Structure 1
Amino acid sequence: MTKPPWGRVPVRVRPILATAAVSVLVGGVLAGTGAANAVDPPHRVANPYVGAQVYVNPEWADRAAAEPGGDAVAGQPTAVWLDRIATIEGDDERMGLRGHLDAAVAQDADLVQLTLYDLPARDCGRRSPQGELSIGDLARYQAEFIDPIVEILAAPDYADLRIVAFVEPNSLPDLVVNTGNRYWATPACDEALARGTYQHGTGYALARLGTLPNVYSYLDISHHAEVGWPEDSGPLTALLLEAATTAGSTVADVHGFVANTANYSVLHEEYFRADDVINGQPVYQSRWVDWNPFIDEVPYVRHLRGELTEAGFSPDAGVVIDTSRNGWGGPNRPTGPATSGDLNRYVDGSRIDRRAGVGNWCNQAGAGLGQRPVAEPEPGIDAYVWVKPPGESDGTSGTPNTGQPYEPLCDPNYLPPRGSAYDTGAMPAAPPLGEWFPAHFRQLLTNAWPPL
C-alpha cells in the first residue's frame, strides 16, 4: 500500500480556549483508516503511524504560518512538549493537555504526539535549559507530573486517540556522556546516575503510561554523534534496559525508540562512507568522524535497535527519527564527494551535515528543515517525525555573567576554559528554550531539504 507523506494543512488556526469550540486545521493524512468506532475497544497496532491522521498543534501552526513562507509547512504535525507541571493544565497564553486532546478530536485526528520532559535535575542540572525539579523531587515528578498526565489520557473521550509518548529525551544518554571524567560532566549528572533518579523516573512513567492501551511509549536513544561509539552505545543499552525494568515497568511498556530528538544529524551522508580510505587513511580517523563507526542516523538506529533487542527489548520495537531540522539544504550543501586527497578536507567537503562540530546541538546556523513527517519511510523505521517543533529555540544565546541562564554550546562566542576557541555554530540573539525564534525558523525554511 502506498503511504504518502502527511499533507500540509492549508488553513491557519487560532484555538478558542474559552469555549469548547475549537477552530481546526484539516490534519495531514496518511493513507489508511480513520479513527476507530467509539463503541470498539482500542486495539494495539504494530506501527501507530500507519494509517493515522496525526494531530497538528494549532499553536505551532499559527506561529509558523505568520512567518514569510511558513504556510508551506504550517500544516505539518509536531509533538506537544510537556516540560513543566504547569503545562499540563495550561494557562491563558498556552493550551494545556486537555486542550490539545480536545483539538485533536475536533480535527478528527487519530494520533497525538507528546514529549514528556520534566525529570528531576533534568539535563544534568544545567542552567539552560533548566528544569523545575531538583534532584530530590522524584516523588513530586511522579505525583504532580506523570500521574495527572495519565489521568487525563485515561479519559473516555480520548480512548480512540493513539497517543505516542516520547519519554524524557536526553536523560539516559546524558548519564553516559556527561558523567565521570567526561569533558561536559556535571556533578548533578553524577548524582542522578548514583541515585538512579532518571532510571526510576523513566520507569515510573513507562509503567503508568503502560496501563493505557492506546499509549505507545518511545524511549530516547540520542543520535550517532553522541553515543555512536561502542564505549557509549553499550552503556546506553544497559541504562535503557534498567529504566525499562524499574519502578514497575517492563520491556513490554516500551513500544519503540526515538532518535535525533531536537538534534541535527542527517539521515544519510550521501557523498562519503564510514569505510572510505583517502591516501591510506580511513575516514574514521578524520577530525569530523573521530573514530565513530557511524556518520549518519539511519545506520546508527538500525545497529542500536539490534543491540537493544539482543539485550531483551521486543524484536518488534520500532524506531522513529526526528527530522525537524536535519535537512542542511541551501547553497552550502555539497552536490558530490570532494576531490581533495587530504583526509579532513575530503570529509569536510563531502559531508551534508555542515555543523562546525558534530556534537553541536543549539540553534545551529545553516540548518534546514528535514524530511517531512511520513510513516514507514524505509525498512525498520516506523516514521520520520517532527518531535522538536521547528522555530522553537534550543536555549538562550547569552554570555557568562550577564545574569541569564548560560549554556556554553548556545553561546556563539564561547571560549573554553582550556584549549582554543570552539565554534559552537549557535545563532546569536536566541530566546530561552521553547520560545519562538523567528530568525531560526526562517533559516530552516530557506535551507529545507528536500526543498519546499
Structure 2
Amino acid sequence: MRAAALLLATTAAAAVSATPYGGPVSRRSGTSSEAPVIKRQSGPNPFEGRKLFANPEWSRKLDVTHRAFVARGDTENANKVRAIQQIGTFVWVSNIASLRNIDNAIAAARVKKWTTGKDQIVGLVLYNLPNRDCSAGESAGELIGREGLERYKTEYIAPYARKVRAARDLSFAIVLEPDSLANLVTNLGVEACAEAAPLYEEGIAHAISSLQFDNVHLYLDAAHGGWLGWDDNLAPSAEIFAKVVAKAGNNAKIRGFSTNVSNYNPYSATVRENFTEWSNSWDEDHYAQSLAPHLEEAGLPTRFIIDQGRVALPGAREEWGEWCNVAPAGFGIKPGTPVNNTLVDSIVWVKPGGESDGECGLEGAPRAGQWFDEYVQQLVENAHESIVPIKS
C-alpha cells in the first residue's frame, strides 16, 4: 500500500525545493467563489466513552510472539505482549472477499460489549479502489478501470454499507482509502496516477455518500507529514479533499482525517531528524496543526485520528521516504492515551504491527501481508512506555 515508495526518493538537501518528497504539485485554478456546501459530522468525539475494539484475530497471531519470548526466558516482554493483545486495532477490508472481516468484527465486538459492559467503537479500513496504489504497486488491488469502479460500488461498497448500517448497537470509525488522494496531490505526473484520478474521486465520493449513518464516523485519509506536510502541498491537499467530499453530495459529511496510516512517523518527535529540517510538519502533531487551517478554509472538519501502530526510533531512517519494514521501530502510543492537541480525536493503531510491508527493508522479510514475527518481537521490545506489561 505504500504509494510513497516512488515519490519519496529525494535526499534531505532537496527539501528546499518547492514540493519536496512529492513531485510537482498539480496546480489548480484555486477555490471557487461559490464554495461547495459541506456538512461536518458534529457532536462529541466518537472515541470518548468507548473502547476501541481489540481484534481477536490479530491478538491470536501474537501468541506466536508471546511463545518466542517465553522460550528464551524474557518474562518482561512476554508480559508486554499480553498487554498488546488487549489493545484496540483497526480491521482491514482490502478486497471483496475480506468483507467477511466486518461480520467477524461485529460478532466479536458484540460479545466484548456484552461481557465487559463497555461500549465498543469498531475501527475499519475501507481499502479497495480500482487502480489502487498507483505510484508504487506494492499493494495493487483486484479492481481495474471503469469496470472495476462499478464492481467497487456494487460488490464492495454496497455490502460494506449494509453491514455497518445493520449493526446499530455498535459505533464505527472508518478510514477511507489510505494513500489514494495523496497521489492526486503530488503524483499526477505518474501516468498510472493520472489515469486513476477520476476513478479515485468518484469511488471515494461514492463511499462517503453510501456511509452516511449515525453510527458511522468517517475519516478521510490524509497521508502523513512527510508526504503532504510540506507548505506547498497543504492547500492543494485541502482542495482535493473538499472536491471529493463535495462530489459526494450536499448532505455528505465526514468526521475528519486519518494520518500516518501504515507509516512510521511519531506523534511527537523527541528528536528532530535531519530530513525534517525544512518542514513545519516534522511529526504528526505538527502536521495536523499545519493542515488544519487549510481544511478550515475549505469548509472541512479539523479533526484527526493519528496512527501510531508502528513508530520508527530516532535514527532508524536516513530519509523520510523509507517506508518498508523500518528498523528499529516499536509499537507506538497506546490508543486512547491523552495527547496535547485538541484537534486529535484519538491516537489509534490503524496498521497494527505484524504483517510485512514487503520483501524489502530487512533481509529475510516475507512478502507484503505475511506475518513477520521477528519484526514483531522488535516492535514489542521497543514499545512505547504507555504499554504496561500484564503478568500472565
The TM-score by the shorter chain falls in which range? 0.7 to 0.9
TM-score, normalised relative to structure 2? 0.79
The question of whether the paired residues in 1 share the 8 Å contact of 2:261 and 2:350 is answered with yes
Residue in structure 1 matched with residue 196 of structure 2 by the alignment: 192
- In the alignment, the residues of structure 2 paired with residue 268 and residue 437 of structure 1 have an alpha-carbon distance, to the nearest angstrom, of 27
Residues 412-450 of structure 1, C-alpha deviation per residue, up to 9 Å, x if partnerless? xxxxxxxxxxxxxx1222223322111111111111222
Q: Does 1:209 align with 2:219?
A: no
Give the letter for the 1:56 counterpart: A
TM-score, normalised relative to structure 1? 0.69
Residues 145-170 of structure 1, C-alpha deviation per residue, up to 9 Å, x if partnerless? 11000111122xx2121110001011
Residues 318-351 of structure 1, C-alpha deviation per residue, up to 9 Å, x if partnerless? 21100111162xxxxxxxxxxxxxxxxxxxxxxx
The SS at the match of 2:241 is helix
Give the letter for the 1:269 counterpart: A
Q: Does 1:372 align with 2:334?
A: yes
The question of whether the paired residues in 1 share the 8 Å contact of 2:135 and 2:187 is answered with no
- In the alignment, the residues of structure 2 paired with residue 294 and residue 63 of structure 1 have an alpha-carbon distance, to the nearest angstrom, of 34
The question of whether the paired residues in 2 share the 8 Å contact of 1:327 and 1:371 is answered with no
Paired residues in the alignment total: 327
Give the letter for the 1:310 counterpart: E
Q: Does 1:392 align with 2:355?
A: yes
Residues 330-374 of structure 1, C-alpha deviation per residue, up to 9 Å, x if partnerless? xxxxxxxxxxxxxxxxxxxxxx35312112111111111110111
Superposed displacement of residue 126, structure 1: 3.9
Residue in structure 1 matched with residue 157 of structure 2 by the alignment: 146
Residue in structure 1 matched with residue 30 of structure 2 by the alignment: none
Residue in structure 2 matched with residue 53 of structure 1 by the alignment: 51
The SS at the match of 1:84 is coil
The question of whether the paired residues in 2 share the 8 Å contact of 1:267 and 1:297 is answered with yes
The question of whether the paired residues in 2 share the 8 Å contact of 1:218 and 1:254 is answered with yes
Superposed displacement of residue 209, structure 1: 0.4
- In the alignment, the residues of structure 1 paired with residue 145 and residue 129 of structure 2 have an alpha-carbon distance, to the nearest angstrom, of 9
Residues 179-211 of structure 1, C-alpha deviation per residue, up to 9 Å, x if partnerless? 21xxxxx32112112xx111111111011101x
Q: Does 1:74 align with 2:89?
A: no
- Alignment RMSD, CA only? 2.0
The SS at the match of 1:383 is strand
Give the letter for the 2:183 counterpart: D
Q: Measured at CA, do residues 289 and 125 of structure 1 come closer, stay the same or move farther in structure 2, by a change above 3 Å?
A: closer
Superposed displacement of residue 144, structure 1: 0.7
Q: Does 1:318 align with 2:316?
A: no
- In the alignment, the residues of structure 2 paired with residue 118 and residue 249 of structure 1 have an alpha-carbon distance, to the nearest angstrom, of 25
Q: Does 1:231 align with 2:232?
A: yes
Q: Does 1:437 align with 2:372?
A: yes
The question of whether the paired residues in 1 share the 8 Å contact of 2:135 and 2:183 is answered with no
The SS at the match of 2:257 is strand
Structure (1/2) with the larger helix percentage: 2
Q: Measured at CA, do residues 444 and 386 of structure 1 come closer, stay the same or move farther in structure 2, by a change above 3 Å?
A: same
- In the alignment, the residues of structure 2 paired with residue 261 and residue 121 of structure 1 have an alpha-carbon distance, to the nearest angstrom, of 19
Residue in structure 2 matched with residue 222 of structure 1 by the alignment: 223
Q: Does 1:99 align with 2:130?
A: no
Question: What is the 5 A alignment of 1:264-303?
Answer: 264-272=264-272, 288-289=275-276, 291-303=278-290
- In the alignment, the residues of structure 2 paired with residue 249 and residue 354 of structure 1 have an alpha-carbon distance, to the nearest angstrom, of 45
Give the letter for the 1:150 counterpart: A
Give the letter for the 2:364 counterpart: A
- In the alignment, the residues of structure 1 paired with residue 223 and residue 160 of structure 2 have an alpha-carbon distance, to the nearest angstrom, of 24
- In the alignment, the residues of structure 2 paired with residue 47 and residue 107 of structure 1 have an alpha-carbon distance, to the nearest angstrom, of 21
Superposed displacement of residue 247, structure 1: 3.9
Superposed displacement of residue 127, structure 1: 3.5
- In the alignment, the residues of structure 2 paired with residue 259 and residue 127 of structure 1 have an alpha-carbon distance, to the nearest angstrom, of 20
The SS at the match of 1:63 is helix
Superposed displacement of residue 271, structure 1: 4.2
Considering Cα pairs closer than 8 Å and 6+ residues apart, tell me whether 1 or 2 has the greater RCO. Answer: 2
The SS at the match of 1:160 is coil
The question of whether the paired residues in 1 share the 8 Å contact of 2:312 and 2:327 is answered with no
